[in-house]
Each structure stands twice: as structure tokens, then as C-alpha cells.
Chain A
Amino acid sequence: MRQFLPTPSDEPIYWLMFGAGGMVAGIVLPSILVIMILAGLGSPDLATGLLNFEQVKGLLGNWLLAAMLFGIVFMLCFYSLHRMYHSTHDLGFHTKLFWFMAYGGAAALAFITLGLQLLIYFKLF
């Protein structure tokens, strides 16, 4: 008797990235949010205060720190959209459209961030 076996899912790639992103969201995101809140309260300008212009220039102009920032943003986008895609399923919407929206959106945001960061990096040096 010939058995019809199910095809393997390609979910592992997304799951591994989701796992890494979930770690970032749990371990790194709280302190980033604290910094953004403090910056919002401190009203920094060109060279004084948390997240002042010169500080961010140094951050985005350092290849290692810029790469880490990109990694964090990319992971956060991917993690959140992956989770939101699965939540649409939980809420009863089972459509492939949301699949394209979620992963397409995550990829688009990643490319935009990468492009911006590269532009800034090469403009600075």
C-alpha cells in the first residue's frame, strides 16, 4: 500500500528566528525602552543628555554597535510579526494573506533598516 506522507514544514527557520527574537525582546528590549523613556524625559540636544546627537552619531558610526542595533531591530520585527501572524490564527482568521503581510512586512522593515544604517554609516565615513 502506498502511503501519502505529509510534507515537512518550513516553520523551523521562522521558529529559530522567533526564538532568538523572543530572547532579545525579553532580555535586551526592557533596557532600550528605559533609555528611550529617559531620553524623552531628559530632552537631550546636540551634545548633552542621554541619546544626544553626537552619542547616536558615535553609535551608528561604529560598525560593531551599528550591526548589533540592526540585529536587535531585525529580531524584534521578525519576532513580533511572527507572533502576531500566529495570533491571527488563534483569533480565527486562517488566511495565507496574513502570512505574506507578516513575513513580507518583517523582511521589508529589515531591508529598510539595513539600507538606512548602511547609508548613514557610509555618509559618516
Chain B
Amino acid sequence: MEQTANNKTMKITVLRYRPEQDDKPWEQTFDVPYHHETSVLEALFYIKDHFEPSLSFRWSCRMAVCGSCGMMVNGVPHLACKTFLRDYEGKDMKIEPLDNFPIERDLVVDLSDLIEKIERIKPYIIPAPKDRNMPLNKSYIQTPQQMAAYLQFAQCINCGCCYAACPQYKLNPDYIGPAALTLLYRYNIDNRDGGKKLRAPFLNEENGVWGCTFVGYCSEVCPKKVDPASAIQLGKKMSATDFVLKLIKPEE
């Protein structure tokens, strides 16, 4: 980093919040040298190493796999590791913690609400009654098409970018939200799964798919191209079908 070829620098403003001292967040600006390959995450490392050792932020894999480094770059949710300073050439940069989540410290947010919601919708394969006693050494059979049906929705890394992009989650924190609803749909359409009934209450409720007004920004910002907006609309179709079927043939 020190030997930058053409000594380009960028003015980077970072939102700081230290729970011990501060009552509310404040901004701190740094001049960070960068070159063609500098990512936002590396810029933050530079700030931590050279200017402000107390700056806190989450990171792990540095290659858009772990989903730890989600943050707002100029107001848009991004993974810091796959966002590059070169794309903001000639502009200033403002880095804030992910929107719509409580700030724990500096760029670290409290994602426990997201985690709880993902847990709530039972994101795992629940065997159908006929498979309940299937031996563990016997495998399920799945055609390439059955796999392609859900594979895109299974790419989620739980980074929280879609929640930061979702105005409905901002307005109503009880809304289950894009990532969890996408996983709900992903497991519901998996041919190995038999847990549709157990997930139905979370799909059909007001805070389930019906909390969505199809803004579509979640799909726009998703770093893994999961397309949560699509999964939620398909979930709405699933829920509406359920609803109509129950009207025609009520259970019990």
C-alpha cells in the first residue's frame, strides 16, 4: 500500500460510534492513498494501521464468501471486500454501518435480529413423513432441474445488505425481511423437503411475504445476485395459492 504508483488519495469519511464515550455517531475524515486494486476493506485497514487504531469493523474472508463486511458506501449497501475505490474516482467516499440495524461500535452492527429471523423460518431440510425413517447412508435423489430451481436462492451469505436496502424493514422492524423469506422459499421448493406446513405461518402472515411492497432494491444490492425480490414474489404466489386452496377446501 505504501508504494502507490501515482500517489492517488481519496477523502474517506467514516461514521464513528464508541459506546463508552459517545451518545451518538460522529464523522471522521481521512485521506487514504489508493491504487487500482484497493478495496474499501483495504482502505479501512490502512486507516486502522496508520491513523486510527481504535476503528472497529467486521471482516474475515476478504473474498465475498463470509458476508461479514457489509457496510454502506455512499449510502448504498456493499460488501467492503468487493467494492473498489477506483469505481469512486474523483468523488469522496462515505462509509457507514449497515442501515436499519443498531450500531454496536463504529462500523459494527448488531445483526441478531436477522439471525433470529433466519432461524425462525427453519432454514434446513425437514424430511417428509415418508422419509422420516430413511437410513442416513441413503441419499435423496434430485434431478439437475430440481436443484436449479432453488440453487440461486441458496447462495445467500447472510451479509444483511438486503435488510439495509429494504425500506419496509426500516419502517416495520417486525417484517421478516428479504434474506429470511428467500431462504424460506428456497427450502419450500426443495424436493427433499417436507416442512412446508411448518413454515407456512411465517410465509402467510402480515410480516411475512405480505410485508413486501416490491421495491426491488434488495435484488439490486445483493452481492451474490440471489434476487430476494424474486423469491418473495414467488413466495407471495405460493401464499396466495395456499389461501385460495384453503377457501375451497378448508382443513379439518
Contacts and interface: CB of A to CB of B under 8 A. Distances in A.
A29 to B, nearest CB: 19
A9 B208 contact: yes
Q: Is the interface of B mostly helix, strand, loop or mixed?
A: helix
B234 interface: no
A92 B171 contact: yes
A93 to B, nearest CB: 10
A89 B171 contact: yes
A31 interface: no
A6 B202 CA distance: 7
A7 interface: yes
Interface stretch (B25-33, B60-68, B220-228, B236-244): B236-244
Contacts of A9: 204-206, 208, 210
Q: What size tier do the contact residues of chain A reach?
A: 10 to 19
A15 B214 CA distance: 12
A86 interface: yes
Interface in A9-51: 9-13, 15-16
A97 interface: no
Interface residues of B, number: 19
Contacts of B205: 6-9
A12 B244 contact: yes
Given A5-B201, A6-B205, A7-B205, A12 B243 contact: yes
B83 interface: no
B213 interface: yes
B207 A6 contact: yes
A11 B167 contact: no
Given A6-B201, A90-B213, A15 B208 contact: no
B240 A16 contact: yes
A15 B171 contact: no
B210 A11 contact: yes
Given A6-B202, A90-B213, A12 B240 contact: yes
A16 B243 CA distance: 11
Given A6-B208, A9-B210, A15 B202 contact: no
A8 B205 CA distance: 4
Interface of B: 167, 171-172, 200-202, 204-208, 210, 213, 236, 239-240, 242-244
Interface of A: 5-13, 15-16, 86, 89-90, 92, 94
30 contacts: A5-B201, A6-B201, A6-B202, A6-B206, A6-B207, A6-B208, A7-B205, A8-B200, A8-B201, A8-B204, A8-B205, A8-B243, A9-B204, A9-B205, A9-B206, A9-B210, A10-B243, A11-B206, A12-B240, A12-B242, A12-B244, A13-B243, A15-B210, A15-B236, A86-B213, A89-B213, A90-B213, A92-B171, A94-B171, A94-B172
